Amino acid sequence: MQTPTDGVSTPKSKSVLRSSIAPYQSSRYPLGSLTSARRRSSYRLASKRRVPQSTPIQETLDPQKAALLLQKQWTIYSVTPMYNFSYDKLKEYSKHLSATIAAEKQKGVAVDPGSDFNLKANFSCLPGLKGKERDPTAILVQITGKSQSQLSKSGTEERIVWTGWFCGTYTEEDILEVLPETFTCLPLFLINGSESFTAIVGTWFQQAFDCCFGKLVIRSHDLRWLVAMCAGYEVHGHVPTTELVFSVPVEPHMDISLAIHPEDFKTLWNDIQKSKDEVMVEEVEHLFQCLYSHFFRHFKIHLSTTQLVKVTVAVVSAHCDGKVKVSFLPCELCKCIF
């Protein structure tokens, strides 16, 4: 891999588009040290977590950019630290990625919305997505386009065909401590759009910044924390119904959906929670034991033998396969979800 004077890495040989974002070993940053740092972090095995403050991203981000993130389904990837990434070169990166997309189209790669669209990429910052001061600034990447017939028409808006954003909300301190200054740690990559564009963007980042991607799975353990952290959370003056989906280990596949009335759920949680400022792991376990007992009393089914795979709470819907839909998200809750 060669690095030109503009700081954007380019491969020595002709690039080949991958069918998906394939994880690979970064040559500049050993994964062993990253894994070691994560194992030392108390966040991964937290016995308690602070209750998030009620500041939605609509109030911490530019309203137009906040609207881009809400009410959409996002697929989450993990990302290793990026080498020689510079916030001062976002316009440059936009041009490079735009050129890559154009080159892939010329090679006949199928992209949505089609070959008649004039496509370009745009990088920008999302400064309001910091969980703490030391977190790196989040980055928004968009691919927009106009059809060839619209290029000559003034005032025609470009259509957003793909969106992705990198963020490091509540990045683990141990990881930041071991990172050299030449690396930027934005460990989460959320995308909304076609797989073809995801492959192009992901491959470009891998080649330009010597990083690697991996599909992120949300554990049942973290979904349970999310339910407890959002208990009684109000959105626009009311508390929505909490919905839980459990996967039953039988063939053919079967799911059990449990919808909990907001007032009943809030009453139950108020009886369990000792402090309004934090949630203890014992309280999360107690909450679900109560739900399991209630369900068994009515249906004679042991939910404890199933796996929690999806939760829908006041501010977000999250699935264990790494898909989330945000409706009203305080930045503090990113730590619980991701």
For the segment 104-152, what is each residue's pLDDT rounded down to a tens digit? 888 877 666 555 678 999 999 988 777 677 788 999 999 998 776 555 5
- Note the pLDDT of residue 69: 84
State the sign of the Cα–Cα–Cα–Cα dihedral 130, 192, 35, 19: negative
pLDDT of 171: 56
Residue for token digits 């976002």? 90
Residue in the structure block whose two tokens are 């034991």: 289
Rounded CA-CA distance 294/50 in Å is: 27
* Residue ranges of the chain with per-residue pLDDT less than 50: 1-20, 23-27, 29-44, 331
Where do runs of H (alpha helix) occur along the chain?
Answer: 31-40, 57-60, 63-69, 90-106, 173-178, 195-209, 220-229, 262-272, 281-299, 334-337
Query: Nearest CA to 337 among 181, 224, 251, 184?
Result: 224
Q: Is the pTM of this model over 0.75?
A: yes
Per-residue pLDDT, 107: 84
Beta carbons of 199 and 19 less than 8 angstroms apart: yes
Q: Tell me the average pLDDT of the chain.
A: 79
**Given this model, what pLDDT does residue 142 score?**
96
Distance CA 129, CA 132 (A): 9
